[in-house]
Amino acid sequence: MLDRSKKRPRDPNQLAYQIMLESTGQVPKFNPEQEKPVDPTKNPHAVALGRLGGLKGGVARAAALGPRKRSQIAAKAAKARWGKKP
């Protein structure tokens, strides 16, 4: 997933400046598909297993829930998202 802080600027002047810096080699070129560097202190196999389990988790949880419980969770999420803040 692309980190929001890594997006190119929307302002045309800032974008032109960013492109100029990239073309002169003053900053690395923008690549949205580039993956984040792996932390060298972490075990890459453990990171891969954790990600794999995380990807399966939501789907497995949704499959285990009944329609009524899913509806209650969705209603609670909508209320939290759209509810008025004091």
**pLDDT exceeds 60 at position 46:** yes
pLDDT surpassing 70 at residue 4: no
Residue 3 has pLDDT above 60, yes or no: no
Q: Across the chain, what does the average pLDDT equal?
A: 83
Please determine, for residue 33, whether its predicted confidence score (pLDDT) is greater than 80: no
Give the pLDDT score at 42. Answer: 87
Q: Which amino acid is at 74?
A: A
If you ran DSSP here, which 8-state letter would residue 2 be given? -
Please report, rounded to a whole number, the percentage of residues in the chain having pLDDT higher than 70: 83
Q: How many angstroms separate the CA atoms of 65 and 4, rounded?
A: 33
> Which structure tokens are listed for 60?
């497995």
Mean pLDDT, to the nearest integer, of 55-64? 86
